[in-house]
Structure 1
């Protein structure tokens, strides 16, 4: 297993170096303070899911590009090999990180009862595909509520603000595939 803080720290540092960006420019693009970015990049801070999404969206990269090791040889992934991203009642397991050639990423998300997660818009033209494996998921998109039951699938344009909610009394578990055009 790998320490998620160190992975995120390395990925941000590598991105800044590759694109010749200062912490000020990254802060401006992401809405995350320069001080917080510095702490994250040094591996001294464990950012929340919300902060990770802000950084990913601001840099126009996927969440898994930010949280996963670059490994082109991965063919089989066991959940025990993944360091989950945990924030309050939400846990994300990044199974397949973003690949420029394939333009998608895939992860499992678990939301405890009465849990929710707000998501800022993803890249323009992006789509999200969800399959609910357990429980009932409510999605709020443009002030409209959609209910996705166990063994149902849902697709939406994810370049708008959206919210994942678990209104039930059991943990909702679903698989999400993000497609970036």
Structure 2
């Protein structure tokens, strides 16, 4: 998942910010990357990386995706929900909210795999007039979306698709795309993302 803004007005909570700080620093050192090198590889400013590693920034979903791709890990690795044995149960308090819309909508990362092949399961709740815009994912990234309630408008490379309740969509998302609730009622949808790190 990639967002346009470097920080969330929609914020990650403090415990997640600290986990992100620790993990990014750990993975960067494991890859023997300087902040300058990681900045170039991830296309994130060095200043932002410094703030992230100090736990002083609330990086957007887009920034987390760029970091994961640059470091060859998954977003779940960075937000610390993928550690443990082969079977990992995420209890309600373990599931991070990584996006908050301006009217109170949320996107929660329910589960994710470890490593450079990233498979993520998301649960979205979007209120009327909320929008989430995304930069292109890495080449070949696939998203599977199922609308549980309401009507979700999806814009994929300027094509507008209205996905109604109980309908599903499979799309390659290596182009600019966005999710919008243009209706007067809440929209709930689940999303699975399959992406391979490019590094």
Scaled by the length of structure 2, the TM-score of the pair is: 0.79
- Aligned partners of 2:154 and 2:72: how far apart in 1? 23
How far apart, CA to CA, are the structure 1 residues paired with 2:91 and 2:114?
Answer: 19
Identify which of 167, 170, 181 aligns with 2:182: 167
**CA shift for structure 1 position 103:** 4.6
1:10 counterpart SS class: helix
The 1:61/1:117 distance shift into structure 2, 3 A limit, reads farther
Residue 85 to residue 143, structure 1, CA distance change in 2 (3 Å): same
Q: 1:96 aligns with which of 111, 120, 125?
A: 111
CA RMSD of aligned residues (A): 2.4
- Number of equivalent positions: 181
TM-score of the pair, normalised by structure 1: 0.86
Q: 1:6: which partner in 2?
A: 18
Cα offset for 1:101?
Answer: 8.8
Q: Residue 96 of structure 2 is aligned with which of 71, 83, 104? A: 83
Secondary structure (helix, strand or coil) at the match of 2:113 reads strand
From 38, 56, 59, give the equivalent of 1:44: 56
Partner of 1:130: 145
SS in 2 for 1:9: helix
Q: Distance in 1 between matches of 2:111 and 2:137?
A: 17
Please, which runs of 5 or more residues in structure 1 have no aligned partner? none
Task: Determine which structure has greater relative contact order: mean sequence separation of CA pairs < 8 Å that are 6+ residues apart, divided by chain length.
Answer: 2
Please state how far the C-alpha of 1:71 moved relative to its aligned partner: 2.0
Q: Is the 8 A contact 1:99 1:105 kept in 2?
A: no
1:57 deviation in Å?
4.6
Q: Which runs of 5+ in 2 are unaligned?
A: 1-12
Cα pair 1:54 1:120 within 8 Å, conserved: no
- Picking from 104, 114, 117, the partner of 2:132 is 117
